[in-house]
A and B are shown apart, each in its own frame.
Chain A
């Protein structure tokens, strides 16, 4: 098995991307887009009447006062003018372009964000891999891609149909005066990222991509090529997000993507399905985002008070229970509630709230909380969801009880809608519009209001226009997702007078939980990113080996099982002709028959078509042991062959003995410890001698 990490990704919106070589099959896991890179582009300018000059800019004066910045002319502050005014291109995983698309056998997509770059890959005429993802991932991912294309259309309208072959803006960026930050985004740290920029796909590309997808349910077993049995297990990150379990003839492998152990909306992390695999690939890089690093840069597991006792004393179930405590989810709940209260505060003060979060799960939960909040308070603010796919997406979330967490399933079974806001939707308290210029929007528009609008990069979609409208209003509130470097994101909107709330939501397993998780899952070999193994000491774990991998390096993993299992059908086993061995009563050996197949990830020996050589007993082809001369002479004599023994020593000092045969025709048997040669002119005599040898020597 081989693992190559193509990209370690960046947070929820840019999941990691890996290439796996398993049983000779190339498996690509996730195919994301680095959407944060489009921040180097300037948003489409809208004339909304709020000119920047109305609010005196403070940036300029600050610039002039800072002597350090004055000196570093190259490292000057970015200005909105530095942003690229062109139709944006999109940044894909660089290392993926180094792989021949036609040689990929399987693509596994673990969450909707991992799907966004897939049309680029499937566009390739040689692409013929089988693509697996969960039903919900496919649906939500498709919505997101369609939304992306529809948001991008505004750029296309603005800049007109440009030259599709080569983007002029790249040339302009390759000059001295361009700020280093922009250069780093465009060309990468090593300067070779240029090839990863792609022009956005079209709706047709999405459609043809999705046609190639085979959707699965959670815990459904699909068999690839008879060899690999692939299973998607819930990861809890979002609706439909999953980890992968791959069983093959050489053992089992689990792939852990960013996971949330206790989810507030999606199906919980499926812990039982991942237990006891031979190899576990831990690809949760989320700890790199969070500030969990202690002063010395390394978390010792002992800082977790219960850690020592948990490992040694507690049983498996208790460990699992300690993993699934609700601490984290309560914290998440508090964060959501805080966002709600902030929005309510601004509404009270007469300001509007713009929420640019695009994580489906978070949006659904916020919608639910906000509508509950508004329902229970005297506040009368409308909620708008503006997105080309808002209506379809929300309609879809009504029909997916199978993908939600237990608590929401219970509610459904009691006859309640799975998300509270669904009933408000009916009461027209939540307004859904496909775009900001939708005909009915203006009639129902009312400020202050709460608006959910994509995209979190603040370059695409209705959020751009709304931000331009409200940026100067100190009463209004902008809710941003963390990890989006807000400096660059907000640059074209400066100066921003509105309040900005940055919130980070859990998007993976907390590092402190990793040791406990590993002792529950008990993989034989675990592969962790070097960034993780540097931060946490896992040496105390009862795991055969812990290997660490790093970006763009291929890690070879030795096979665990020495012997591969083969299943033999009983009717074939009964047809085998068994031989007993001399002086070894415990043994039975038989030459095999039939055909060896690969079926359901297992080697199987089944009755084949042949069975031609029914001509008596097949003669042995391999012998072992030594020939005892006297019994051989005796056996030969029974067949009427007479011989005499002569001992000799050959040139190389080995003991040789020769049996001369005179009757019925001349011949000799030359034997030593390792070999016997029969010399005879007559074929019949030779085969008689062979028979004699069969009697004194074990063979098969």
Chain B
């Protein structure tokens, strides 16, 4: 109610004409709530009406009903999606995405399963911002079963003693939850005391609960094929004449805070009897009778029109609520790990405590803006580029590199073979390194290093195959992880190629050689393997020195 109350005013009086989305249950139940609200406002309290019944009907016609997780493209940019929030039937958290930026807004939600509704359920999303309610920012609730038992015992004691129990509640949610609890208890304990629903409103709401099974808890969903849990066995309609009927009974009456209407009227009649009980199931706004009853143990209460009522009945405060507690808010925040959090709704001091907790424990920036204040947070954007197939193909194969400086390191930098090319006023492109020149309409230019390296002093019993084998064994020793391909007269490591050079005079051969009569290996390697090449050259030079020495010794 508190979330939809002004909608007809907004659309019909203020003139909002954009799309309106609601979950199916909200769309079904809102007109009831709005009409009830209008009636209480105008007919009972005599205030000026903000909207009429026709306004409500017209407004509801514009509403688009959505299902959980249904992804809706509102316009070209905005995408929205609803997630289950618990709390009341049809409550949802809203995920919204524009471009690459995404947020989640949650109104009231409940992180634990209750009698009839499930716990809030959301996917792990990448979010820039989470906006969460924080009504119970510092409360930590234990298990609710002892509290449920307390409530049942209080009601049971009252009716067993012949008293009447009044449960003022909203038509939605609380009434169904408590009623399920009572109905179940009545069955188990075989109690025959009637349970009444005051207005047609709650009965009607009940019908929607029966229909919208997919929005209730797993437990209810499983049971409903055999017995719909909202078909209450002991519940009957209440008649005004029954207020003064003798004998015990339980009555659910609206509105919840005893601020006006039928619940207040019944309260007036029942409060003076010490046998009776008033069970208050929720939050009451200051100034209402409900609030006064909860605040202390008054013996008399002023009603709004000046009359006083003696309060001798028992007062029971139902201490479980469909709002999430601090732990729930923390759990949700931790689960979603958004980049920023904004807390709304609640009392400032406790919100500040929660804010500090989120900042320190989860290391997420958190804001508590006052009404009218604007908060700006950075949003995610991606640079979009078109990638060539060759790049994607090269990225799909591992490209492991081993380095062995102090300890073995394995790196896979396959993306570094890709090049991002940006041309003014054109979409960025990602290409494989070999494709860059083509993109620039240039010709590739290969820069390589070459060196015709003496590897061995010339001897009589030369066997070239052996030489290549010897060399590769030596290279393997010094250069770790090298993949050596060898053939009769050449060897290859990466881009390094060496082949036996039989030419008398080779361009790549230095003129002065330390060993004049030598076998040469003509080497060539690309800049990519710059270091590798030099390492291999070193190995060969060492080999030459050794053979020269051996030869020298022999001579």
Contacts and interface: CB of A to CB of B under 8 A. Distances in A.
Interface of A: 135, 216-221, 231, 272, 392, 395-396, 398-402, 409, 412-413, 415, 417-418, 562-570, 573, 576, 581, 584, 586-596, 603-605, 608, 610, 612, 619-627, 666, 668, 670, 673-681, 683, 686-687, 690, 693, 697-700
Contacts of B24: 401-402, 409
B214 A402 contact: yes
Interface string B420-436: 11111000011001101
Give the interface centre of B69, B72, B420, B508 by most chain A CB atoms within 10 Å: B420
Contacts, number: 225
Contacts of A573: 383
Given A564-B392, A566-B387, A589-B422, A624 B442 contact: yes
Nearest to A690: B527
A591 B433 CA distance: 8
Contacts of A581: 440
B528 A217 contact: no
Given A402-B67, A621-B527, 5 more contacts: A221-B69, A400-B214, A565-B387, A566-B386, A622-B436
B65 A221 contact: no
A675 B211 contact: no
A562 B73 CA distance: 27
A673 B210 contact: no
A518 B31 CA distance: 40
Contact of B433 (A402, A612, A619, A622): A622
B478 interface: no
B555 interface: no
B436 to A, nearest CB: 6
B225 A392 contact: yes
- Interface of A: prevailing SS: mixed
B421 A563 contact: no
B392 A624 contact: no
B41 interface: no
Given A589-B436, A674-B443, A567 B210 contact: no
Interface residues of B, number: 82
B68 interface: yes
Nearest to B452: A679
B58 interface: no
A277 to B, nearest CB: 14
Contacts of A674: 443-446
A563 B81 CA distance: 30
Q: Which 8 A-B pairs have the closest CB atoms?
A: A563-B386, A567-B382, A624-B437, A624-B442, A399-B213, A220-B69, A675-B446, A586-B424
Interface in B483-516: 507-508, 510-512
A621 B528 contact: yes
Contacts of A680: 449, 451
Interface in B176-223: 204, 207-208, 210-214
Contacts of A591: 416, 418-420, 433
B411 A610 contact: yes
27 contacts: A218-B67, A218-B70, A221-B71, A402-B214, A413-B60, A417-B211, A563-B387, A566-B387, A566-B430, A568-B420, A570-B383, A591-B419, A592-B430, A593-B416, A596-B392, A596-B395, A596-B415, A624-B440, A666-B510, A668-B507, A675-B446, A679-B450, A679-B451, A683-B534, A686-B449, A687-B530, A693-B447
Contacts of B388: 563
A276 to B, nearest CB: 12
Contacts of A412: 28, 211
Interface in B435-493: 436-437, 440, 442-452
A426 to B, nearest CB: 11
Contacts of B69: 216-217, 220-221
B384 interface: yes
B521 to A, nearest CB: 14
Contacts of A413: 27-28, 31, 60
B45 interface: no
B402 to A, nearest CB: 12
Nearest to A395: B225
Contacts of A698: 440, 442
A652 to B, nearest CB: 15
